[in-house]
Structure 1
Amino acid sequence: MAHRSLVSVLALACACPGSGSSDSEGTTTGVATTEAATTGASATTAPTTGEPGTEVASVVHSFGNYLMTPYLEIEPCVQWTLHNDEPIYVNAVTLVNDGGFHHSNWFAVPEEVFAGEDGFWDCSSREYNEITAAVEGTVLFAQSTQSRQEAMQLPAGAVIKIPARHKIVAGVHLLNLGSTDLDSELRMALDIIHPRDIEAVLAAMHLDYRDLAIPAGKHSRFTGNCSFRHDVEKATGKPLDVKLYYVLPHYHYLGEFFGLQVMGGSRDGEVLFQLDGFNGGANGAAFDPPVDLSDADGLRFSCGFNNWLNKEVGYGIGDQEMCMMLGLIDARVMIESRVSQNSQLVGVDDGKVMHEAECDNYALFKNPAQGPPAPEELARPLYVPPADPGDVDLEPTKSCFDSAPTAAPDAPVTLTSVRDSIFTPSCTFSSCHDDGAPAAGLDLQTADGLADRLLNHDVAADTPDALVTPGDPQASWLYRLVAECEPQNGEGAVVRHMPFNAPTLLPDPLVAKLRAWIEAGALDD
């Protein structure tokens, strides 16, 4: 994938199991908050003050399914034409997929840009690039790395504006690490509000540490000092006036930390956001109230890595790493701050090799179409664009159904096949149960000793069941977690099913494969 430039957004990594969970391996701190987007048909919320309520309507679209053959890695584009005759103002975005979507970056652009039919397409066939998408339109959303279900809920009154006759486009990175086909559907929901309820039309901020040289066999940290005050004031001719509403960090499987601090001013050093760990969860966070940076010089961001490999890792995709953040701001300009060179080794702190650099900063005025609502919009009823025929009454997420106990298992029924078709793509793909810092101490990645770990693992959950009980799937906690939408622990409390952050279960033939392997005695092949 090409290096990202101004306001090019990358989707972002996560922490296992997830923010706010009592059993979470990853945590967020500071004043940031995460919320789920509202869903369903048009609705009105009436406050207790007697003032008019906020009108909200949800528009849902299915992009269809993408069939990923075993071990496929591909980067297509995808498109949804809104057919909107008027601007719409998006307060929340929800994205759902069935797995294999490593990350995706979303923009709203005029209909004539990257002209062609909706659905999936070859990016090069329409000369798609994210710089053009950002300049011709606006940044809409970024998917956290490997997240199957994600909602970006902005604070009340904060919106992404999609002008009239626009469409939504994205470049997506698809990766099937499994030994079986993966047929994954992609859905998106937009929650839109009435123009009269708008307080801020947001623009994008992008922080990016590109000069990565992550040392082999060590923990390390890279910090970018992004003092963008001078560049923004030079571009606008006015004092710095930036309010931060939303952040979404991004690193890959070696990442173990992301931190964001205020740089300069009376709040110098204040921690705004912190993330520890990595998984397939949704880790964007909103600030309510927004963070006023008018007194600051800029922002300081850090990424920490645990490079357990025997080689140095640089910046890129595949087995390389990234360190970046998408921010949504109320400002006159879009802001890009990046470290492209001159990263310096500054010492060792608590066993971590510390690197630091100054950011190059750029400010670019927003597209003129990204202005506030026109007076006539304020007087009209809430405008909702028409739904595509196939999207009528479509829910933002699929309903979950327990796995069919009579389903025929995918063959062969061996532990190696279970590992290759289930554990690798769904349990270790998001680094929850890898061999580095496995969730609940369960390493499902390492082939050696896997059978012994499955049979003798000390289950952390409050359940009388062993992780795997040979011959008895229903007495096997692992099977119940992947076969039931609402598995209950020993106290009768519902716990989260697996895969983590998935709205639905794995395909029935794969769940049946695990069931059949346990029924046959959970043998080590």
Structure 2
Amino acid sequence: MTHDPSRIPSRTPSRLGRGAADGRARARVALVLLLTSPVVAFGCKGDDADEGESEGADADTSGSGDGDGDGDGDGDAGTDTSGEDPETAILTHRFGTRELAPFEETEPCVQWTLDNEAPIYVQAVTLSNLGYFHHSNWFVVPEELYAGDDGYYKCSDRGFNELGAATAGTVLFAQSTQSFVEEQRTGAGAVIKIPPRHKVVSDLHMLNVGPAAIETDLFMTLELIHPKDVEVVLTPLRTSYLDLDIPANAVSKFTGVCEDFGARYEDSTGTPLDMKLHYVLPHYHYLGNHFDLSFTGGPLDGVSVFTVDGFDGEANGGVFDPPLDLTGVEGLRYTCGYDNWRDVNVGWGIGDQEMCVMLALVDTKVMMDLSVTGGTVAVGENDGVLEFEGPCGILTVPKNPAQSMPTSAEQDEPFNVPESGDESIPPVPECSDHDPGVAPDLEPTLANVFGAVFQPSCMFNACHGVSGQAAGLNLQAVDLLAELLDHEVVGNPGASLVEPGDPDASWLYQVLAKCEPQTGEGETVGHMPRNSPVLLDDRSVALVREWIAAGANP
């Protein structure tokens, strides 16, 4: 069955399948449950879009969902379990604390040995952290690869590289930029396969932009299903735009044009494109404000199937359930947009540079990597947006033979669950109120509050900076003190954001110090930072408390 583009519901300004919209909502489930109610005081941009996602959510995005599953035809089809709840199990692992010095940026690796004697099939992955994890990419590889103890290590010491990890095993998960809690859940029976005696590895990008040392932590949860419930084993597909030269003081878009996408697939497999799209996750940094994925040729010609606008430090992955059938597609186009308010051009990289990457999980016969490494040209201007395009090179890699469907023997055996998880650790850390007995480790000045609290925790994820002034609050204002003293609190009318000399009467302190702050009318709202499962560390909150108590001086 081919996909009917007329049945992809229209959004403003994008068109997005029902499954993708549901996926973005599911990615926020753990966070929403923790926060109890929507944040109205300081919500990041994107709140309006969330409300609008319900429009057209009941529209059907028909797709066959009957791909070859293992890509090579050697596996057995999933057992028909219609009407039955799948058999599931949970593995949760804590990677341990990690310290970052003031202004430290580092890219360590980390691993978790699963001790799985039999294949396991992952229906969902949840990653949670206590902040300062800018982004991370996760793989499963044979135990003997990158040998060493579990925990954090220097990637180069073990020869880690992403392409080697992806081809030796497969991609497990990718973290949205600066997300605290993120769930990647694909459609029922669509799984990531972890072969026997494999382990989880990742390269992490960690960043502390503040003047105080910090300590953070990292957790991962795998939701497994019984082999009899597996319908398809998913394969990664990646796009990237390396040839970025983002103009200063301008809004721009860069589009990777992959005209021979279908032809390269056919060259590699000997068959026309036979692929179904299950999951999409874009990645850009704080200047990024747009992502779009579209296709040319076939029933999806010219259709934008996945679009994200803005940057809010939250999970931005989308699930297509049922999957999107790409039969007849000839070309693929992916676009990243940027609002570069800086006075210098920005290129590809970490730190204050940008990226444009997409991870997709697909039902396919080969792994594909699409990237623009040169040849970018300006193609015009549209409504003040400078537009650039570049041709993408396409690398095809045979699918790992271990990434096959479950055998009949696996389907008939009892559920095999490794004992490498820790049942005492919740998938998402639990929140505790601030301890008012803790003293700050920095002098309580506005400059230190800005550097140690506002900059790394309130502005860096674009909630309250120049490019995103949620609830009208700009913590990068030239006169920051006036901004804090004069700001009208949206979520708690009549309250003072900062009441000099009285932290308890200051809404800023309340949303930082309590897991479930209450308005003057008794309504419970979410704490800050908005997308964090826990509060900031006690020393940071104490710094704000003592600055207010001392009179909130300049």
> Structure 2 residue aligned with 1:440, among 451, 459, 471?
471
Distance 1:315 1:411, change over 3 A: closer
1:278 aligned onto 2:311: yes
Q: How does 1:383-394 map to 2 (within 5 A)?
A: 383-387=416-420, 391-394=422-425
| 1:117 equivalent in alignment to 2:186 | no
1:258 and 2:288 matched: no
1:176 and 2:208 correspond: yes
Q: Is residue 25 from structure 1 mapped to residue 37 from structure 2 by the alignment? A: no
Q: In the TM superposition, what is the alpha-carbon distance from 1:462 to its structure 2 partner?
A: 4.0
Question: Relative to structure 1, is the Cα distance of residues 178 and 475 closer, same or farther in structure 2, using a 3 angstrom cutoff?
Answer: same
Q: Is 2:91–2:423's contact at 8 Å kept on the other side of the alignment?
A: no
Distance 2:285 2:298 in 1: 32
| AA matched with 1:413 | P
SS at match of 2:253: strand
Structure 2 matches for 1:48-59, cutoff 5 A?
Answer: 51-59=83-91
1:195 aligns with 2:227: yes
1:95 aligns with 2:127: yes
Task: Kindly indicate whether the alpha-carbon contact (under 8 Å) linking 1:31 and 1:273 is maintained by their aligned counterparts in 2.
Answer: no
CA distance in structure 2 between the partners assigned to 1:24 and 1:154 by the alignment:
26
Shift, 1:115, TM fit: 0.6
Could you tell which deviates more after superposition, 412-421 or 472-481? Answer: 472-481
- Residue aligned with 1:495, SS: coil
Q: Residue 215 of structure 1 is aligned with which of 247, 254, 263? A: 247
Q: Within 5 A, what are the aligned runs for 1:149-160?
A: 149-160=181-192
The residue aligned with 1:299 is 332
Tell me the equivalent position of 1:359.
Answer: 392
Shift of 1:200: 1.0
Q: State which drifts further: 248-257 or 431-440.
A: 431-440
- Residues 306-328 of structure 1: CA distance to partner in whole angstroms, max 9, x if unpaired? 11111211112222111111100
Q: Distance in 1 between matches of 2:92 and 2:82?
A: 31
Distance 1:263 1:480 in 2: 51
C-alpha separation in 2, matches of 1:195 and 1:32 = 31
- Alignment of 1:405 onto 2:436: yes
Contact 1:225 1:299 in 2 (8 A): yes
Aligned counterparts of 2:438 and 2:371: Cα–Cα separation in 1: 51
Q: Give the letter for the 1:256 counterpart.
A: N
Question: 1:208-357 to 2 correspondence within 5 Å?
Answer: 208-227=240-259, 228-357=261-390
Conservation of the 8 A alpha-carbon contact between 1:281 and 1:500: no
Letter in 1 for 2:324: V
Equivalent residue number for residue 467 of structure 1: 497
Q: Contact (CA 8 Å) 1:399, 1:504: kept in 2 or not? A: yes
Instruction: Answer with 141-150 or 355-364: which moved more.
Output: 355-364
1:503 aligns with 2:503: no
Match of 1:126 in 2: 158
Which amino acid in the other structure matches residue 258 of structure 2?
A: C
Matched letter for residue 446 of structure 2: L
Q: Supply the distance in 1 between the matched residues of 2:127 and 2:293 (Cα, whole angstroms).
A: 25
Mapped to 2, the partners of 1:285 and 1:352 lie a distance apart of: 26
Equivalent residues of 2:139, 2:169 under 8 A apart: yes
Superposition pairs of residues 508-519 of structure 1, within 5 angstroms? 508-519=538-549
After alignment, is 406-415 or 299-308 more displaced?
406-415
Inter-CA distance 429–32: structure 2 relative to 1 (3 Å threshold): farther
Alpha-carbon RMSD across the aligned residues, in angstroms, is 2.1
Distance change in 2, residues 1:158/1:493 (3 Å) = farther
TM-fit CA distance, 1:52: 2.6
Q: Which moved more, 1:69-78 or 1:492-501?
A: 492-501
Match of 1:478 in 2: 508
The one-letter amino acid paired with 1:122 is K
Point out the more displaced range, 107-116 or 202-211. Answer: 202-211
Runs of 5+ consecutive residues of structure 2 not aligned to the other structure:
1-23, 33-37, 59-80
2:161 matches 1:161: no
Stretch of structure 1 that moved more, 212-221 or 265-274: 265-274
1:455 to 485, 488, 508: 485
- Measured after TM superposition, the shift of residue 409 of structure 1 is 2.9
Deviation at 1:491? 4.3
1:298 is displaced (CA, Å) by 3.4
Between stretches 279-288 and 76-85, larger displacement belongs to 279-288
The amino acid across from 1:425 in the alignment is P
Partner SS for 1:102? strand
* Aligned equivalent of 1:415: 446
Q: For structure 1, which segment, 403-412 or 160-169, has the greater mean C-alpha deviation from structure 2 after superposition?
A: 403-412
The 2-side partners of 1:226 and 1:305 are apart by 21
What stretches of structure 1 of length at least 5 have no aligned partner?
1-13, 34-48
Deviations along 1:334-367, whole A, 9 cap, x unmatched? 1111111111111110001111223222222211
Seen in structure 2, the aligned counterparts of structure 1 residues 463 and 489 have a Cα distance that, compared at 3 Å, is farther
On the 8 A contact 1:473/1:518 being kept in 2, the answer is yes
Q: 1:477 to 1:357 in 2, by over 3 A?
A: same
Is the Cα–Cα contact under 8 Å of residues 32 and 272 in structure 1 kept in the other structure? Answer: no
Contact 1:225–1:263 (Cα < 8 Å) also in 2 = no
Letter in 2 for 1:91: Q
Aligned to 1:322, the other structure's residue is in SS state coil
Contact 1:232 1:362 in 2 (8 A): no
SS in 1 for 2:395: strand
Deviation at 1:201, TM superposition (A): 0.4
The CA deviation string for residues 370-412 of structure 1, in whole angstroms up to 9 with x for no partner, is 0000111100121111135xx2421111111111233223331
Q: Is the 8 A contact 1:31 1:272 kept in 2?
A: no
Contact 1:62/1:187, CA 8 A, preserved across alignment: yes
Q: Is the 8 A contact 2:300 2:326 kept in 1?
A: no
CA deviation after TM superposition for structure 1 residue 303, in Å:
0.9
Percent of residue pairs identical: 50
Shift of 1:497: 1.1
Shift in CA distance, 491/275, structure 1 to aligned 2, threshold 3 Å: farther
Q: State the shift of 1:472 in Å.
A: 2.0
- Contact 1:32–1:287 under 8 Å retained in 2: no
What is the distance in 1 between the residues matched to 2:393 and 2:193?
A: 28
Q: Choose which of 495, 520, 523 in structure 1 pairs with 2:550.
A: 520
Confirm or deny: 8 A CA contact 1:202 1:329 kept in the other structure: yes
Q: Look up the equivalent residue of 1:204 and give its one-letter code.
A: P
Q: Distance in 1 between matches of 2:204 and 2:220?
A: 14
Give the Cα separation in 1 of the matches to 2:398 and 2:188: 24
Deviation at 1:499, TM superposition (A): 1.1
Identify which of structures 1 and 2 has the higher relative contact order when contacts are C-alpha pairs closer than 8 Å and 6+ apart. 2
- CA distance in 2 between counterparts of 1:51 and 1:430 reads 43
Deviation at residue 263 of structure 1 after TM alignment = 2.2
Q: Deviations over 1:176-196 (max 9, x none)?
A: 111112111111000000111
Whole-Å separation in 2 of the counterparts to 1:208 and 1:336: 8
> What's the counterpart of residue 426 of structure 1?
457
Specify the SS of the correspondent of 2:164: helix
In the TM superposition, what is the alpha-carbon distance from 1:299 to its structure 2 partner?
2.5
Letter in 2 for 1:343: T
